[in-house]
Amino acid sequence: MRVDYDQLEQQIAALSHGETDEVALMATLACEIHHADDRFDWTGFYRVTGPELLKIGPYQGGHGCLVIPFSKGVCGAAARTRETQLVPDVDTFPGHIACSSSTRSEIVLPVFGQGGRLIGVLDIDSNQPDAFTPEDAARLEQILAATFAAI
């Protein structure tokens, strides 16, 4: 099953309408996104909890890493650069953190609140190589902006 982004966007908008709690929104998005596509093996958020530090937030799938510094891994790179990281083969990413040995590819998107404040990152792992496309990146960025920009 491949994600229908138009439907996903409408569903998330309906479910999150009026909600202002970041963690509640993250939990809702993690669930909805994770179950929207068979490629998505692990879907979750890492929240900015201190200077240059991410801690695990709401997620779907197996265990995740508990703490990730901005200086490490794909999630750290997304937080540090404030840019989406599209990684077709995690074994070729310098400093990749293997939270799960089954992960083959990954997309990590920075999550911004009001005024461009970095709230965290959305991390989606796949057990398939080269699972994510630029369309996935663009559509997920759109969903995140619509959900969190006013928070």
For 20-51, the pLDDT digits (tens) are 999 999 999 999 999 999 999 999 999 999 99
- Name residue, tokens 């439907």: 7
Q: Give yes or no for residue 6 having a pLDDT over 80.
A: yes
Mean pLDDT on 77-85: 98
What are the start-end ranges of the H helices in 1-150? Answer: 5-16, 22-34, 73-81, 134-148
Better pLDDT: 61 or 101: 61
Rounded distance between C-alpha atoms, residue 53 and residue 123, angstroms: 15
Q: Give yes or no for residue 147 having a pLDDT over 90.
A: yes
Return the beta strands (E) in 98-146 as ranges: 105-112, 118-126
pLDDT class of 150 with cuts at 50, 70, 90: confident
Q: Give yes or no for residue 98 having a pLDDT over 90.
A: no
Contact 79, 57 (CB under 8 A): no
Rounded distance between C-alpha atoms, residue 96 and residue 43, angstroms: 17
- Mean pLDDT score across all residues of the chain: 96
Domain 5-148 has CATH 3.30.450.40: yes
